[in-house]
Structure formats: C-alpha cells, structure tokens
Amino acid sequence: MTLPYASSTSGRSAMDDIRKTIQAFGCSKFAPMEDFTAGTVIIQFEYRGRMVQVTASAKGYAAAWLRENPYSSRMRLSKVEHEKRALEKGQIAVWSILRDWIKGQLTAVETGILSFEGAFLGQILLPTGETVHDRIMSQGLLPAPAKGPEA
C-alpha cells in the first residue's frame, strides 16, 4: 500500500484552503504555526467562543514514509539526505492531511452528522491552555488500548 499523501505538493496552499474553509464555516480566528524543532504543524481557530488546536507531526509522517521507503546503499543520495527528503515530504503532507481532516469534520458538523463538540472534542482548548485530549491523557481517564494481534 502506498502511504497516503506521499505525492502531495500543495503544502502552503493547503494552509490557505484551511483558512478559507474555517472562515466560510463562521470561525472568527485562525492561526497557523510550525514548530521546526518538534517538527509539528499547529492550527488554532475559534468557533462560537470555542478555541480549537489541532497538531500534526511532520516527523511522524516522515517516520511512516521511511518505513515504506527504507534507505538503500544503492540510492543516489546519502542516508542523511534520504531522511531529510522524508521530513520535507512530511512537512508538505501534514498541511494536506489537516486540510482534508478539518474540511471533513466541518462538513460533518454542517450536515448534522456530528456536533461541533463531537467533531473537535479532543482538540478543544481548555482555559489552562491544554486540549481536552491532553487533560484526559494526563489524568489517565481512558484505559490503555487492548493489545491486539500483530499484523
């Protein structure tokens, strides 16, 4: 199976698409950010007084890409260059992934499939600055997932 978004090229235009989508939906604030050290993309927006923060990892995507495209000494580039290429692919792909995910969630809200809270519960920012998901995980409110058979 080919890793989805591996051939994405839109990058920054996907960020503009996100802005247009949430603005059309009625969101009042929008702030994109990249944390180069952590290798993450962070998008914040506000809808009817609810602040939402969505974070995606370019490094996580790069790691998945490297699993699917392992380095070989027969390549015309060094291992470091191959890993740099993977991170560049991740930095482009996460914008497209976020664009599609946010658009899907907002469409589900718009069509009544989900409430806004149902679509973005884990990403809603609490007054403490942490997301609902962060709070749930830090307090151990969910049991660890059951171990399943290895695929």
For the cut 80, the answer to whether the pLDDT of residue 130 exceeds it is yes
Domain boundaries, the chain: 12-138
Residue 142 DSSP one-character state: S
**Is 14:95 a contact under the CB 8 Å cutoff?**
yes
Q: Is the pLDDT of residue 148 over 80?
A: no
Whether the per-residue pLDDT at 151 is higher than 60: the answer is no
Give the whole-angstrom CA distance, residue 86 versus residue 35: 17
Nearest partner of 41 among 27, 53, 50, 51, judged by Cα: 53
Is residue 98 over pLDDT 80?
Answer: yes
CA distance 99 to 30: 13
**Mean pLDDT rounded to a whole number for the chain:** 93
Is residue 120's pLDDT more than 90? Answer: yes
Residue 145: its pLDDT value, please? 85
Instruction: For the chain, list the strands marked E by DSSP.
Output: 29-35, 40-47, 50-57
**Per-residue pLDDT reduced to its tens digit, 19-48:** 999 999 999 999 999 998 999 999 999 999
Do residues 41 and 33 make contact, with C-beta atoms less than 8 angstroms apart?
A: yes
Q: Is pLDDT of 11 > 90?
A: no
47 neighbors 27 (Cβ within 8 angstroms): yes
The single residue listed with the structure tokens 């962060």 is 134
Cα atoms in the 13 Å half-sphere on the side-chain side of 86: 22
- Per-residue pLDDT tens for 69-92? 999 989 999 999 999 999 999 999
Q: State pTM to two decimals.
A: 0.87
Residue with the larger pLDDT of the pair 12 and 15:
15
Between 124 and 6, name the one with better pLDDT. Answer: 124
